[in-house]
Amino acid sequence: MDFAELAHIIPASPGGPRGIPLSEVSAEARAHHSNLILLCANCHTTIDKAPTSYPADMLCDWKQERVDEIHVAVSTPVFQTRAEARAHIQGSLDENAVIHARYGPVGDPYQRGDSILWLRHARSTIVPNNRRVLRVLDANRHLLMPEEQRLVAIYRLHVEQFENRHVLDDFTTGTERFPEAIQRVFLDGRTNQT
């Protein structure tokens, strides 16, 4: 289990490690989130016991580097080519297809598959994968053919209704089926909306 502590870069009180007089940094600025960094308990203690080895500028740089890493990890890239965009979504589409083939329902009630496993995988994997694919499609709309843009509108409806059904247990918003043509988006210049 991981534990973390919020640490002040510039201490809350002027007498703390890396202390700066109140005349230079206000109490409000000391309490602001921009003056906080997340550290493990050991690093927090080590850094506060050796403030000259870990000056405020160094801690600010560490924080910014981590923020930049997170931004890269969670941001949606904009691609130059259809092939790059396709490569980026391929894994999510494949993973969803395998889960649906193994556990997905056919009709109502379930005629095959396992409803408990289906619900577990729908919530933990398919919902986030759907959102990831939709973000890539939206960010790379400039690469979509006109018929693919219309297809994305249908897919968006499916994604929203899928989440309502499988996360919120709300079946009143509709049951738009997965548009199979999404499996071919970015592959060539044309898609069918079937």
DSSP string, 79-118: -SSHHHHHHHHHHHHHHHHHHHHHH---TTTTSSS-HHHH
Instruction: Please tell me whether the peptide bond between 109 and the residue prior to it is cis, using omega within 30 degrees of 0.
Output: yes
pLDDT computed for residue 20 by the predictor: 83
Q: What is the pLDDT of residue 68?
A: 76
Cα–Cα distance for residue pair 177/158, rounded to 1 Å: 6
Query: Which residues fall within 8 angstroms of residue 121, CB to CB, at 6 or more apart?
Result: 99, 103
pTM attached to this predicted model: 0.60
Residues 67, 39: Cα–Cα separation, whole Å: 14
H-only helix segments in the chain: 27-31, 41-49, 56-74, 82-103, 115-121, 127-139, 146-166
Instruction: Give residues with Cβ within 8 angstroms of 194, minimum separation 6.
Output: 179, 180, 181
**What pLDDT score does 159 carry?**
95
Quote the pLDDT of residue 18.
87
Domain boundaries, the chain: 5-74, 82-184
- Tokens for 41, please give them: 């308990």
pLDDT of residue 114: 65
Q: What angle do helix axes 82-103 and 127-139 make, rounded to 10 degrees?
A: 160
Q: Measured between alpha carbons, how far apart are the two ends of the chain, in Å? A: 47
Give, in order, the Cα–Cα distances in Å from 92 to each of 88, 97, 186: 8, 9, 14
48-57 contact pairs (CB < 8 A, 24+): 48/7, 48/16, 48/17, 49/17, 51/17, 51/18, 51/19, 54/18, 55/18, 56/9, 56/10, 56/18, 56/20
* pLDDT value of position 85: 96
pLDDT, one tens digit for every residue, the chain (194 residues): 667 898 999 888 888 888 888 788 888 888 888 889 999 999 999 999 998 999 989 999 998 888 878 876 777 899 999 999 999 999 999 999 999 998 887 765 444 456 888 989 999 999 999 999 999 999 999 999 999 999 999 999 999 999 988 888 787 888 888 999 999 999 975 443 43
User: Quick one: pLDDT at residue 194?
Assistant: 37
